[in-house]
C-alpha cells in the first residue's frame, strides 16, 4: 500500500499570486491533474488520444432526443426551466431505481439523490464524512477524480493492491489493521468494483462479501462507484455491493456512460440518514441539479428503449476493446503486459522495468499518441511502469494506429532504457538482444 | 453585528442514525434551512407563497427556445451532450463578458469560470479561502444559501448592519477592527450590492469605493454576489464592485433570473490566480458544468434579443412590486414598516415589537399565506421582527390577496401581543388604540 504526499504540479501559476497568503489549507492540495493536460491534447488532430475517458456518442438517437427536448421545452418549459427539488425530480428518482435493479439493487426513490454527475456525489459524500487527516482506503491505482476530491477535503488516501480479480482482501485487511495500530481513523473504502478505472478489472463476486464484512467490522463506510456496471460485454452484470449490504454502502451511479455526460446527471443511493444530510449538502453546493437535463433523461428513459441503446453502446465498446487487445498483442514490445477487460473503457498496461511512462509522455505526444501515465492514479507518484489506454472514444482504426505509434515509442525507449537499467555497458546498449 | 452559533434544526432525522459517529465535524453545521420548508408549502394551492424566490418564467419565448434546443441536439448533439471544459464553453464565456459589461465590468473570457448556478461559485470560493474559524463578514440580514455555504466550511459569519443605502461602512469598519483586536482572520466580505436579498436595498454608489478601500486595507477579499443587477426597474444599473477594484473582487453572476434557473448556468469572474484554482475546484466538484445547458444559453444569447427579454422581465417584476407596495400600504397594520426596492425580487418588512415572525408562520400558513421569517437570514437566530416577502413569482392578484391574509394575521397577532408587550394590563389589551 502507498500513501499520499504532496505532488508536484505539472503547471503552476505563471505570475506571483497576490492572494497567496489568503487561501485555505485545503487549497494547497489542489493541483492540476495529469489527465487535464491530456484533454487539452484532444484538440490536436495529429494526436490519437488513448488517454481521455470520453464516451463515444455516435450511436445516440439524436433525432429522438431532439424531438423530445423540443417537446419538453415547448410543453413543459415553465417547469423544466424552473428550479426543482434539491434531491432531484421524483419521477426520475423512480426510474433510477429501475436502472439500479439491473444490478440487483432494491432501492426506494426516497433514498436517491440526483447529482451533477457522480463526481458531485463523490465530492459531497467526502464532504459529509472526511475531516482533515481521516483515512480513505482505495484501490491502487484509482480514479483520479476521486483522488482529487479526497485531497480537497484533506483526507489521507491509503491505496491497497489489486490483482486480476480486483481489490485484494488481504491488502485491505492489512491496511485497516495498520491504520488501527497507528491510531488513524479510516472513514471510507472507495471502490470501483466493475470494469475498474484505470485497470479494467472487475472485483470477483466471491470477494465482495468478504470485503463488505471487513469494512463492517472496522466501522468503515463503503463508497461503491459504478459508472460502467451496465457496460459488460456479454451483457452480464455483477451483484452490486449495495445489494449485499445496503446499510453500509453508498452507491454512486451516472447516466454519463449509458446516455450522455453533457447532461451531467448522476445519482447517489444512500442509507436514509446519510441521504438526508446529502440533500442538505446538495442545496449548499448547487441549490438543485439541472432541471432541464433531468427532464430530458426522464423522458428518454420513459419513451425510448434505453436498455437496447445500452446494448448498442456495449457492442461498440466491445469492438473497440477487441481492436485494442489485438493491436497490443501484435505490436507491443516484449516485456509489456496488459489487462483484458470484460467491459468498460480501459486497458491497463505494464511496461518493462526502466521505462518511465510519465517521462515518456512528451515523446509519445510528439509521435502522435496520448495515454494516461500510471502516475496520475496513485497518491504517492508511483505508477511509472504503468499506463492507461482508453478504447472508448477513438474508432477501431485510430486505436490500431495509436497502439502502433505507442509501440514504436516504447520500443525505442526500451532500447534506450535497457543499458541504464543494467548499468554495465552504458555505451554499447544498442547491441543487446531486443527480446531481453 | 451578530455572530453565528448552533441553530436548532427545524426538523431532524426521525430515526437513530447508525452513521452518527462517522460524520465530519463540518456536517454538524448542516441543518435544514427555513426556506426549505417553505418551498414545500409551494405545492399547496390554498397557500399563496410570498416566500420563495423563484423567477416568473411566463414571459419566456418557449417556442424560440424549443426550436433552438432541438436544433442544438440534432446538429451539434455529439458536442452538446459530451463532456466539456471544466471552465465552461469558450463562446459562452465571451458572451458572459458582454453581459457583465452592462454593469461596467471589463473582463477577459479567460477569467470567467462557468458554474452550476452562482451557488456553486459561492460554495467553491468559500472552499478556496475559508479554513474552519476564519471570519466571513456579510450584511445582516443576508442570503441564506450563502450562510449555508459558510457554515459548511465552518467559517464564522459576522453580520454588519444595513440601512436604506445598504451595508453601513461604519459597521464594517467596526467589525474589521474587532476581528483584528480579537485575533481573528477575516477572509471575505460577502455582499449583494444590488437589490439585496432579503432586503431589496441597493448599496449607495458613494459607499462602494469606501467599502472596497476598507477591505483592501484589511486584506479582505470581496465576494460580490449579483443575481439581480440587471433587474433595476428603471433599467438603471450600478457600477459593479468588480469594475471599481478588479484585483480584489470576485464577482458572481447567473442566468437564473435573466433567463431560466433550471438550466443551472452561473459564473464567477475572478483575478487570474484565483480563477486558476477555481477551475481545479470545479473539476473536483462536478468535472464540468452541463454542456447542453451552456449551449442553450449561448445560442439564446447569440440569436435572441436577450436585453429586450430582460426588459420584459423587469416590467413584469415592477408591476408585481407595485402591487405589493400598494397592498402593504392599504392593509398592513400600524407599526409595520417595509423597504421600497427599485429592482429585484424582495420586500423586507419590519413588524411591531412583540410580534415574532417565526412563531407566527404556522398561523400564517393556516391563513393561506407563506413568507420567509427574518430569522432564516441571520446566523444568530435574530430577525424575529422581520419577514421577507417575494413578489417575483405570484400574479399581482395573488400578491394582493396574500398581503391581505398576512395583514389579518399580523393584526390579530398584534392584538394578542400588545398586552404582553406592555405587561401592565394583561387582560384588557383589546381596549388599546390600534394606532399605538
CATH of the domain at B281: 3.40.640.10
What is the model's pLDDT at position B16?
A: 85
B263 at A interface, C-beta within 8 A = yes
Going residue by residue through chain B, which has 436 residues, state the pLDDT in tens, using 9 for 90 and above.
444 433 333 344 456 898 998 999 999 878 777 666 665 666 688 999 999 899 999 999 999 999 999 999 999 999 999 999 999 999 999 999 999 999 999 999 999 999 999 999 999 999 999 999 999 999 999 999 999 999 999 999 999 999 999 999 999 999 999 999 999 999 999 999 999 999 999 999 999 999 999 999 999 999 999 999 999 999 999 999 999 999 999 999 999 999 999 999 999 999 999 999 999 999 999 999 999 999 999 999 999 999 999 999 999 999 999 999 999 999 999 999 999 999 999 999 999 999 999 999 999 999 999 999 999 999 998 999 999 999 999 999 999 999 999 999 999 987 876 655 444 433 333 333 333 2
* Contact present, B284 and A121 (Cβ < 8 Å): no
Please check whether residue A53 lies inside any domain of the structure.
no
Please check whether residue B168 lies inside any domain of the structure.
yes
What is the model's pLDDT at position B206?
A: 97
* Percent residues over pLDDT 90 in chain B: 85
Q: List the 127-186 stretch of A: residues with Cβ below 8 A of B.
A: 127-131, 134, 145, 148-149, 152-153
Please check whether residue A285 lies inside any domain of the structure.
yes
Does the beta-carbon distance from B77 to A58 stay under 8 Å? Answer: no
B397 at A interface, C-beta within 8 A = no
Q: Residues A237-262: pLDDT tens digits?
A: 999 999 999 999 999 999 999 999 99
Residues on chain B touching A24 (C-beta within 8 angstroms) = 127-131, 134, 153
Does the beta-carbon distance from B148 to A73 stay under 8 Å? Answer: no
Residues on chain A touching B123 (C-beta within 8 angstroms) = 284-286
Please check whether residue A200 lies inside any domain of the structure.
yes
* CA distance, residue A361 to nearest chain B CA (Å): 22
Please check whether residue B102 lies inside any domain of the structure.
yes
Query: What are the angstrom distances between the C-alpha of B274 and each of A340, B127, B131, B268?
Result: 43, 12, 16, 10
A287 at B interface, C-beta within 8 A = yes
User: How many structural domains does chain B have?
Assistant: 1
A118 at B interface, C-beta within 8 A = no
Q: Residues A297-314: pLDDT tens digits?
A: 999 999 999 999 999 999
* Percent residues over pLDDT 70 in chain A: 89
Residues on chain A touching B149 (C-beta within 8 angstroms) = 284
Does the beta-carbon distance from B290 to A287 stay under 8 Å? Answer: no
What is the model's pLDDT at position A36?
A: 62
Q: To probe the interface with B, which of A79, A155, A273, A376 has the most B CB atoms within 10 Å?
A: A273
* CA distance, residue A408 to nearest chain B CA (Å): 31
Q: To probe the interface with B, which of A16, A86, A116, A281 has the most B CB atoms within 10 Å?
A: A116
pLDDT under 70 in chain A at which residues? 1-15, 34-43, 417-436
Residue-number span of the structural domain to which A242 is assigned: 82-303
* CA distance, residue A426 to nearest chain B CA (Å): 43
Identity of the residue in B39, B82, B277 whose CB atom sits nearest the CB atom of A262: B82
Does the beta-carbon distance from B264 to A60 stay under 8 Å? Answer: no
* Contact present, A344 and A234 (Cβ < 8 Å): no
Does the beta-carbon distance from A129 to B23 stay under 8 Å? Answer: yes
What is the model's pLDDT at position A35?
A: 62
Q: List the 16-75 stretch of B: residues with Cβ below 8 A of A.
A: 17-20, 22-27, 30-33, 36, 39, 54-55, 57-58, 60, 62-63, 65-67, 69-71, 73-74
Residues on chain B touching A276 (C-beta within 8 angstroms) = 13
Does the beta-carbon distance from A19 to B271 stay under 8 Å? Answer: yes
Contacts of B423 (CB under 8 A, 6+ apart): none
Residues on chain B touching A296 (C-beta within 8 angstroms) = 292
B316 at A interface, C-beta within 8 A = no
* CA distance, residue B267 to nearest chain A CA (Å): 12
In A, minimum Cα distance to B273 occurs at A17
A-B contacts at Cβ under 8 angstroms: 265
Does the beta-carbon distance from B264 to A283 stay under 8 Å? Answer: no
* CA distance, residue B428 to nearest chain A CA (Å): 46
Identity of the residue in B20, B134, B273 whose CB atom sits nearest the CB atom of A19: B273
What is the model's pLDDT at position A28?
A: 84
What is the model's pLDDT at position A59?
A: 97
Q: To probe the interface with A, which of B285, B288, B313, B395 has the most A CB atoms within 10 Å?
A: B285
Identity of the residue in A71, A284, A290 whose CB atom sits nearest the CB atom of B262: A290
Please check whether residue A234 lies inside any domain of the structure.
yes
* Contact present, B106 and B98 (Cβ < 8 Å): no
In A, minimum Cα distance to B220 occurs at A22
Residues on chain A touching B290 (C-beta within 8 angstroms) = 116, 262-264, 290, 293
Does the beta-carbon distance from B65 to A77 stay under 8 Å? Answer: yes
Please check whether residue B19 lies inside any domain of the structure.
no
What is the model's pLDDT at position A45?
A: 86
Contacts of A252 (CB under 8 A, 6+ apart): A118, A121, A122, A125, A223, A224, A225, A226, A227, A266, A267, A268
* Contact present, B360 and B413 (Cβ < 8 Å): yes
Identity of the residue in B60, B120, B127 whose CB atom sits nearest the CB atom of A77: B60
Does the beta-carbon distance from B54 to A187 stay under 8 Å? Answer: no
Does the beta-carbon distance from A22 to B289 stay under 8 Å? Answer: no
Does the beta-carbon distance from A66 to B70 stay under 8 Å? Answer: yes
Q: To probe the interface with A, which of B63, B83, B135, B392 has the most A CB atoms within 10 Å?
A: B83
Does the beta-carbon distance from A81 to B57 stay under 8 Å? Answer: yes
In B, minimum Cα distance to A68 occurs at B70
In A, minimum Cα distance to B31 occurs at A280
Q: List the 200-219 stretch of B: residues with Cβ below 8 A of A.
A: 219
Q: Helix, strand, or coil here: B264?
A: coil
What is the model's pLDDT at position A422?
A: 44
Please check whether residue A293 lies inside any domain of the structure.
yes
Amino acid at each position: 500500500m502507498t500513501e499520499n504526499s504532496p505532488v508536484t504540479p505539472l503547471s503552476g501559476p505563471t505570475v506571483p499570486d497576490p492572494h497567496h497568503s489568503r487561501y485555505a489549507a485545503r487549497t494547497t492540495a489542489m493541483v492540476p491533474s495529469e489527465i487535464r493536460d491530456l484533454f487539452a491534447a484532444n484538440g490536436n488532430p495529429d494526436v490519437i488520444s488513448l488517454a481521455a475517458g470520453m464516451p463515444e456518442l455516435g450511436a445516440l438517437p439524436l433525432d429522438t432526443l431532439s424531438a423530445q427536448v423540443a417537446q419538453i421545452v415547448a410543453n413543459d418549459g415553465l417547469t423544466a426551466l424552473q428550479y426543482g427539488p434539491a434531491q432531484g425530480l421524483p419521477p426520475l428518482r423512480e426510474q433510477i431505481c429501475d436502472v439500479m435493479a439491473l444490478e440487483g439493487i432494491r432501492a426506494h426513490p426516497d433514498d436517491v439523490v440526483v447529482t451533477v454527475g457522480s463526481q458531485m456525489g463523490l465530492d459531497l459524500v467526502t464532504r459529509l464524512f472526511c475531516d482533515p487527516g481521516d483515512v480513505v482506503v482505495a484501490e491502487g491505482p484509482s480514479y483520479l477524480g476521486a483522488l482529487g476530491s479526497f485531497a480537497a477535503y484533506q483526507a489521507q488516501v491509503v491505496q491497497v493492491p489489486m490483482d486480476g480479480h480486483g481489490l485484494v482482501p488481504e491488502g485491505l485487511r492489512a491496511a485497516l489493521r495498520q491504520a488501527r495500530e497507528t491510531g488513524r481513523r479510516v472513514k471510507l473504502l472507495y471502490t470501483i468494483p466493475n470494469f475498474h478505472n484505470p485497470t479494467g478489472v472487475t472485483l470477483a463476486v466471491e470477494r465482495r462479501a468478504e470485503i463488505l464484512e471487513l469494512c463492517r467490522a472496522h466501522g468503515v463506510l463503503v463508497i461503491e462507484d459504478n459508472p460502467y456496471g451496465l457496460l459488460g460485454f456479454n451483457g452480464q452484470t455483477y451483484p452490486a455491493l449495495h445489494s449485499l449490504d445496503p446499510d453500509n454502502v453508498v452507491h454512486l451511479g451516472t447516466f454519463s456512460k449509458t446516455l450522455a455526460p453533457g447532461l451531467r446527471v448522476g445519482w447517489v443511493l444512500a442509507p436514509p440518514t446519510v441521504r438526508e444530510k446529502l440533500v442538505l449538502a446538495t442545496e449548499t453546493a448547487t441549490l438543485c441539479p439541472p432541471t432541464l437535463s433531468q427532464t430530458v433523461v426522464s423522458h428518454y428513459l420513459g419513451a425510448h428503449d434505453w436498455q437496447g441503446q445500452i446494448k448498442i453502446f456495449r457492442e461498440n465498446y466491445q469492438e473497440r476493446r477487441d481492436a485494442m487487445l489485438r493491436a497490443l498483442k501484435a505490436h507491443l514490445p516484449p516485456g509489456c503486459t496488459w489487462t483484458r477487460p470484460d467491459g468498460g473503457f480501459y486497458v491497463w498496461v505494464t511496461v518493462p522495468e526502466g521505462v518511465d511512462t510519465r517521462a515518456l509522455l512528451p515523446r509519445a505526444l510528439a509521435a502522435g499518441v496520448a495515454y494516461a501515465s500510471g502516475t496520475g492514479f496513485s497518491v504517492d507518484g508511483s505508477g511509472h511502469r504503468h499506463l492507461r489506454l482508453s478504447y472508448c472514444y477513438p474508432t477501431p482504426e485510430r486505436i490500431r494506429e495509436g497502439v502502433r505509434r505507442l509501440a514504436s515509442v516504447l520500443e525505442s525507449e526500451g532500447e534506450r532504457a535497457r543499458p541504464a537499467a543494467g548499468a554495465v555497458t552504458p555505451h554499447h546498449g544498442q547491441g543487446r538482444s531486443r527480446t531481453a
